[in-house]
Homo-oligomer: A and B are copies of this chain.
Amino acid sequence: MSVYTPVSEIQLAAWLKRYSVGALQDVQPVAAGIENTNYFVTTSQGRYVLTLFERLPADELPFYLELMAHLARHGIPCPAPIADLADAYLSALNGKPAALVTRLPGASLDRPGVAECAELGGLLARMHLAGRSYRGYLENPRGPKWWREAAREVRPFLDGERIALLEAELGFQSQQRFPDLPRGPVHADLFRDNALFEQGRIAGVIDFYFAGVDCLLFDVAVCANDWCLCEPARDRRLEPGRTRALLEAYAGVRPFSEREREAWPVLLRAAALRFWLSRLYDFHRPRRGELVQVHDPEHFYAVLQLRAGDRDAPWIG
């Protein structure tokens, strides 16, 4: 959510007349994120986030917006897209596809504890159940096909040790087949900064622009790899207490199948691989922008190294 496309107050005030949200009162650029341009927008009616889509394919945008609308009307605390007077979620602003969504309260936590990981697990499972009746379909755009493309792009920038791990992991993952795992729409990027807490509850799950249809368990693995590390900066092993809290709360809403228990270590590795690759890609292939945030790829290199060598990923009883 960096700023690539400037929007003036005059442009925004005019654009907002196509909505039923009242008059513009304030607009602030948002620094976080890497994919889109975002502004916090306050009107006489409420608080919103304006997103200008910078590189997502236009034909994929309805999948994301309709998914958020679907989850919101099932009671999942996610941004609800606002329909304009022509009853559309998507329009154009300064030459970019643009959407207005509700801005949710709360703040993300750097150091979630056992209670917050349990809160996340329950919400993630409810989101997965609610997503089952969603009719839109988009294969996870950061799935195995994308891994191979991204690997080709970033390979020239890697040393021998990293190339070896990358190729070994791509080879390992290509041999794994879990056709029986429950699938559905997954958030696929539910890191700590995408969950807004208020009074101990998740009041907002945000940034659905990496969502797609995949194994539901992949979503759980993405969360575990970020929320449940012993000490993110140093010890990337899964801390058993928080990991158990996440998995038990999830299973309390949607019990895991036996096949999912077997697949767990493989999906933890797949989730680490996916983020190592995207961070390598963003690091070595940066885009121009007024305010662009890039994450260090080395963190997920270390996570993947550890997961790939770990045959005993923590699991629940």
Contact = CB atoms under 8 A, between A and B. Distances in A.
Interface of A: 19-22, 44-46, 48, 69-70, 72-77, 80-87, 102, 122-123, 126-127, 129-130, 132-133, 201
Contacts of A85: 74, 129-130, 132-133
10 contacts: A21-B75, A21-B126, A22-B122, A45-B77, A45-B201, A46-B77, A48-B75, A72-B80, A83-B133, A85-B133
A73 B80 contact: yes
B45 A126 contact: yes
B81 A73 contact: yes
- Copies per complex? 2
Interface of A, secondary structure class, is loop
Given A44-B201, A87-B133, A201-B44, A20 B75 contact: yes
A285 to B, nearest CB: 37
Contacts of A130: 20, 83, 85
B20 A76 contact: yes
A82 B73 contact: yes
B20 A122 contact: no
Contacts of A122: 22, 44
A102 B102 CA distance: 15
Contacts of A48: 75
